[in-house]
Structure 1
Amino acid sequence: MQNGGGRRATVAAAACGFFMTVLAACGGPRTEVHHGDVPRPGGPSGTARPSPSVAPPGVPGVGERLWRQVPAGTRQLVAVYGEHRDSPDSTLVLYEKRGSRWERTVSWAAHNGKQGWTTDHHEGDERSPVGVFTLSDAGGLLDDPGSRLPYTQDEDAFASPYYWDEAHWHDFDYVIAIDYNRRRGTRPDDPTRPLGQTKGGGIWLHLDHGDGTLGCVSVPEEAMEYLLRTLDPKDRPVVVMGDRVALSA
């Protein structure tokens, strides 16, 4: 009996070691830096590096009101933590569900609307809408980098207006449509507004230009490439976004 127990312990230890090696290999370079209960961007430029941390059931900083809106079956969640209601600065964190637990995988510094956040978004208010939204379609000016989401490449449709400042010329090299007031299953620039034009639309994840947006969420190019290659329709990805107070309510 002692020999059998010893063999079982040896096998279990080897399996555990192999599992941890695979996790490390699959996770790629990433990091986590924490400030209170809300994750902060990794590294000086938000570049992801290794992180072994695992969140308890649910996602830190997201209150029951919004958590109830996360669809059943969702296994990938992008959380955007705004600094405060009137700030354009935020942190984007990708969580993935492993078994019954949510694991923080990568994070980056991000920007949101120039005027901050709102629970009642309107066209031209320069605030990002607070809420839970599905992520179903992608595209951009550049060729598909290996997106798992349906991807539309269009050099004309995703070209920034010529009169925009040069810092914005690459904003739409890659985009992921945030399903706020849009028709899912269409290219990101589809003009349909189910809630009406006054409720705004065209809210995307896109490349960062160093400051606030007109309502979108922007992240570094490496973040967009990572999200495009990682977000998988079969995992029903969503974004939960807003300022910290609104998220925690």
Structure 2
Amino acid sequence: MRTNGAVRTGLAAMVCGAVAVTLSACGGPEGGSGSGAKGRAGARGGVARTSAPTVDLTRIPDVGDRLQRRIPSTSRQVLAVYGEGKDSADSTAVLYTKSGATWEKTRSWTAHNGKKGWTADHHEGDKRSPVGVFTLSDAGGVLDDPGARLPYTQSETFQAPHEWAKSHWHDFDYVIAIDYNRLKGNPPDDPTRPLGDEKGGGIWLHLDHGSGTSACVSMSKSAMEYLLRALDPEQHPVVVMGDKADLKV
């Protein structure tokens, strides 16, 4: 349900960032004809070019069977977050859109993930982003709705505390909840954690501050605005996220 200008009672709990209880938590040269050239010699002594590997456009690139199977058959929008390494905070986010039976790369952006990297067993305070496939159902932020298709909750309660470094003050101008340990259909800052507090929560897509996060995935303001306007509940969007090595398993 879309609400604009609402300021809910109580504090915004269990969201990205890690401030006490409030805002806590938040994937070789071409050969010539010389002796070092690779390939098969042709009839006139040339080198036959080796064909490039066939890309299977019915799958999300560089995602193995384990996670590929977890993408719902109804999903036609996938945001893939490719982490540079298990212990790295650097990643690249790519939006894929399904056309017929094939996936097309729509946009890509630089991104950051948890400052300590990735984990398949996320716990509160570990500073690692959870690896997996998660639906994207709800959005919100400090700023007015930019034209989001997902249900959007605008509220000052998303404001990052000004005790934080100034570079973090606008982190939550726009947010999209990653459906890890939360109840879909509620505002992103709803504190309910079905798996228990120890499993963490409040994992969001939000604005980037130039470095790793507490567990969320962060991108530029323009990237967030694009995603808010593009992600469509009728297309059942999901995020597939993790370090590159783990994603390929």
Verify same fold: TM over 0.5: yes
Alpha carbons of structure 1 residues 220 and 179: separation in structure 2 relative to 1, 3 Å? same
State how 1:46-85 maps to structure 2 within 5 Å. 56-85=57-86
1:55, CA displacement in angstroms? Answer: 6.4
Q: Distance in 1 between matches of 2:151 and 2:71?
A: 21
State how 1:21-170 maps to structure 2 within 5 Å. 56-155=57-156, 157-170=157-170
Q: Of the two, which has the highest radius of gyration?
A: 2
Secondary structure of the residue aligned to 1:227 is helix
What residue number does 1:227 align with? 227
Structure 1 residues without counterparts, runs of 5 or longer: 1-53
What residue number does 1:189 align with? 189
Q: Distance in 2 between matches of 1:193 and 1:94?
A: 27
Secondary structure of the residue aligned to 1:247 is helix
What residue number does 1:199 align with? 199
1:162, CA displacement in angstroms? Answer: 1.6
1:114, CA displacement in angstroms? Answer: 0.3
1:78-116 per-residue CA deviation (whole Å, 9 max, x = no partner) reads 000000000000000000000110000100000000000
Secondary structure of the residue aligned to 1:92 is strand
1:153 partner amino acid = Q
State how 1:202-213 maps to structure 2 within 5 Å. 202-213=202-213
Indicate the structure with greater helix content: 1
Alpha carbons of structure 1 residues 76 and 55: separation in structure 2 relative to 1, 3 Å? farther
Aligned structure 1 segments of 4 or more residues deviating by more than 6 angstroms: none
Identity of aligned residues (%): 68
Secondary structure of the residue aligned to 2:95 is strand
Would the aligned equivalents of 1:55 and 1:104 in 2 still touch at CA under 8 Å? Answer: no
1:161, CA displacement in angstroms? Answer: 1.0
Q: Distance in 1 between matches of 2:237 and 2:60?
A: 14
1:137 partner amino acid = D
Would the aligned equivalents of 1:55 and 1:102 in 2 still touch at CA under 8 Å? Answer: no
Are 2:215 and 1:215 equivalent residues in the alignment?
Answer: yes
1:159, CA displacement in angstroms? Answer: 0.5
Q: Distance in 2 between matches of 1:135 and 1:185?
A: 10
Count of residues in Structure 1 that have an aligned counterpart in Structure 2: 195
1:174-212 per-residue CA deviation (whole Å, 9 max, x = no partner) reads 000000000000000000000000000000000000000
1:70, CA displacement in angstroms? Answer: 0.6
1:151 partner amino acid = Y
Q: Distance in 2 between matches of 1:56 and 1:139?
A: 33
What residue number does 1:236 align with? 236
Q: Distance in 1 between matches of 2:223 and 2:217?
A: 12
Secondary structure of the residue aligned to 1:210 is coil
Q: Distance in 2 between matches of 1:55 and 1:133?
A: 23
Q: Distance in 2 between matches of 1:193 and 1:61?
A: 31
Would the aligned equivalents of 1:123 and 1:199 in 2 still touch at CA under 8 Å? Answer: yes
2:134 partner amino acid = F
Would the aligned equivalents of 1:55 and 1:103 in 2 still touch at CA under 8 Å? Answer: no
Alpha carbons of structure 1 residues 55 and 232: separation in structure 2 relative to 1, 3 Å? farther
The two structures, once aligned, show a CA RMSD in angstroms of 0.9
1:62 partner amino acid = V
